[in-house]
Amino acid sequence: MICSSSLHVSGSGTRNSPSPPSSEASDEPVRKIKASPQLNRWSRARTIRSGRKLDRSTSTESLLTKSGSLPVRSQPEIESLLLPMSPPNNKRDSRSSSSDDEKEGNGGGIPIFILSDGTGWTAEHAVNAALGQFDYCLIDGVCPVNTHLFSGIDDVDKLMEIIKQAAKERAMVVYTLAEPSMAQSAKQACQHWGVASNDILGPLTEAIAGHLGVSPSGLSRWAPERQKTPLSEEYFRRIEAVEFTIKQDDGALPRNLDMADIVLTGVSRTGKTPLSIYLAQKGYKVANVPIVMNVDLPKTLFEVNPEKVFALTINPVVLQSIRRARAKTLGLNGELKSNYCDMDYVKEELEYAGKIFAQNPVWPVIEVTAKAIEETAVIVLRLYHDRKNRCSMPRISKRY
C-alpha cells in the first residue's frame, strides 16, 4: 500500500545529493564517493542528527564484511540484490538527467519514504512529529516536503525495489521493520546506494529487550501469528467506552454522567465531541455537556465527582471563525446565524461559561485555542490520572 502527502518546510537552494543510480549494471569497481562540499545546511543538519559522517558511501564488499550476511539471504543473493544498481556518482549529466523524474515523482519537493511491514502508523507519526520542529519556517513554503508511505512490506525483493526508487528520487528512507533480517537488508541497501535512512523501531526494540532480558518476537503488529491471540479485556473495554461516549454526546442522557470516567463541558465548537471520541478510543468513558445561554445545565453535572469534570474554553476570535465555517456547512441563515456567529454573542456566551467555571473551582479550565485534539487529550489525561492516583509526580500510567 502506498500513500503520499505533502508538507512545506523552509529551505533554499538546490540539494547537491548524489545523483540517482543507473538502472543498468555497472562493470566498474565500486568507488567511494566523497560528500559534496556544496551540501546545504538542511542536508548537513539531517546528516549530523542521524549520527553519520557526511561521507556516507560504502562499497558492497566492505558493507557486507562489516554487517555480516543476512539470516534469510546467502551472500550471493545479497550481492545480486545490491549490484543491479551501482552506487551514486556525482557526474553533472547524471544529475540533470534525473531531475525530470525527481520532479515528476515528488512535485518538486524533498521526498521522504516511510516504509513499514505493518500499517506504517508508527513511522508516519514519528516523521510528522519531527517535521513539526520546522513549523517556524513553514510560512514561506520555499522548500516543500513530500512524504510517501509504503505499508505491508513483507519480502526483501519489494523492499529493494522501493529503496532503489528512493535512490533515484534522492529520498530519505524512514522505516519500522520488526523482522531483524528485513531491517538489516534495508540498512545495507541504503548504505550501499547512499540513501539517508533512519530505523525508528530497531534501536528502541533492542534497548527494551536488553532492559527486560528477553528477545523480541520479530513479528509486525499485524502478522498472522499474532492475530491468534484472543481478544484482550482492554479491547472490550475500549469498545464499551466508544459505545458509551457516542450515546452521551452533546448532553444526551445526563442521568448517566456519574457512570462516565471523564465529563467535558464548554460552549459550542470547543472540540468536546472529537476530544470525547479520541479519549474513548483509549478506553475512557466520556460524556460531554454543552453550555448554551438561557439553557439550564443538567443538575447531574453538579452532582458528579467534580474531579472528573473538565471545562474547555477558547479564544473568541478563533471561536467565531470556527462557528462561521460550521454555519456555512449547516446552511444556517438569518437571525439564527447572526446569534451563533456574532462576535458580541460569542463573547457573551464565553463570559457566561466563565462564570459557571468560577462557581466550580475544582473544574480545571483548559484553553484549547491552537491545540490539537491530541494535545488537549494529554492535558486531560495527565490531570485525570494525577487526581485518581494522587501521584507526587503527574504521569499517565498503563499496564501491559
56 in helix, strand or coil?
A: coil
Look at residue 327 in the predicted model and tell me its pLDDT: 86
Placement of cell 510517501 in the chain: 148
On whether the pTM is more than 0.75, the answer is no
Look at residue 95 in the predicted model and tell me its pLDDT: 42
pLDDT means per 10 residues, the chain with 400 residues, are: 57 42 44 41 47 43 39 53 53 43 58 93 92 73 84 93 95 95 95 96 94 90 68 87 95 93 96 96 96 93 95 95 88 71 93 96 95 93 86 65
Look at residue 37 in the predicted model and tell me its pLDDT: 40
Name the grid cell of 165.
526508487
Look at residue 223 in the predicted model and tell me its pLDDT: 73
Dist. CA 97–CA 41, nearest whole Å:
25
Give residue 19's identity as a one-letter amino acid code. S
pLDDT digits (tens, 9 = 90+) for 68-107: 434 445 555 555 556 555 555 444 344 444 444 544 455 5
Look at residue 108 in the predicted model and tell me its pLDDT: 62
Report DSSP state, residue 28: S
pLDDT digits (tens, 9 = 90+) for 19-37: 444 444 444 444 443 444 4
Q: Which helix (H) or strand (E) holds 264?
A: strand 262-267
Exposure string for 288-322, b = 16+ CB within 10 A, e = fewer: bbbbeeeeeeeebbeebeeebbbbbbbebeebbeb
Nearest one of 277, 360, 346 to 314, comparing CA atoms: 346
Dist. CA 166–CA 189, nearest whole Å:
11
Contacts of 385 (CB under 8 A, 6+ apart): 391, 394, 395, 396, 397
C-alpha count within 13 angstroms, C-beta hemisphere, residue 115: 31
Stated length of the chain: 400
